[in-house]
Structure 1
Amino acid sequence: MQPPPESGALKLDQTIQDLKEEVLQFNSDASALEQNSLYPSYSRTSVFLGVRLSGLLIKEFSVTFDGGAPEKFTFDEIESLAFLQNKGLRRVMRVNLEPGQHKIRAEFIAQFADAKPDALPITGNLEAIFDKNYNNTDLGLMLVRTGFRAEPSLTLEQTRSAR
């Protein structure tokens, strides 16, 4: 007795789905391998940006390491609002830095969502020295307010992977 024609089509569909899953897994593994090759753990440094002020919309942001050329980022309104969701944190860049002491400079331009159209934007910057060891290093640049009436400012939080 021959199986119904639908079962052959079902088996083909399952085989195609299995192949799709294998391709997705292969792509994921290849991407991870590429990232590990481009950014080895001893030099990998990731920079994250977070906004910890309700209603503050980040417009522009730039980061410079050791006096080099700045990496500039511009955010539209939707991207700015995403930072406000659940204390959003976003990786804005990944760079290779040799182990040792480094200088970071970051600048921002922002505006409160309820600001009048003719209000001047809020600007600020941060300069700091940090030590990069031989493990992955994550730098969190957080837009915060240090006091009740203080202007928004950047703070630096550093975490390193333990081996």
Structure 2
Amino acid sequence: MGQKRFAAGFGIAAGLFAAAVGLAAPQAAAETVELAPGVSCDRVACWNDTDDTYRITHRVTCDRIGVPAVVVDATTYVPAHSKRNILVDCPAYTEPGTFENPPPRWEPGEWVPGRMNPDGTREPGHHSPGKWVQDPAVHKPGDTVSRHVESIEHVRAVVDNNPRPNTGSAG
């Protein structure tokens, strides 16, 4: 009896999940923004249904959990009557490194030979004592982690019939 309730509950949960996904999908299409008559963009691409080439500027937020977010500018050139994907290079983040102290090491003493003093007396040789030496701390660089596109704000679309290549950064 308990297994039947579990199966029925699981089936209801799966149905609710499918309905939620189905409701969320049309919203993705609704995020299309018209920047100029005949020029529009969504989260991944821009369309141009005009007779001119458009330069579209985007402000992109790059983020990752536990890593500071960063905002970069991106530019997409869309020729007349075509579609172009938005190219974005989110910069990686290098975590702070650490300094690690190596273990102390023993530096052995050495034999110091005797010597003759100016007055003619002789100093006997001796062994200098060894000592523990602490080498300086060693820097270990942090891990480099990637950031992902969190959001894209389409800033403007301008007619530009002499385009440069698409860039994913402020360059």
TM-score by length of 2: 0.31
When the two structures are superposed, what TM-score results if normalisation uses the length of structure 1?
0.32
- Highest Rg: 1 or 2? 2
Higher helix share: 1
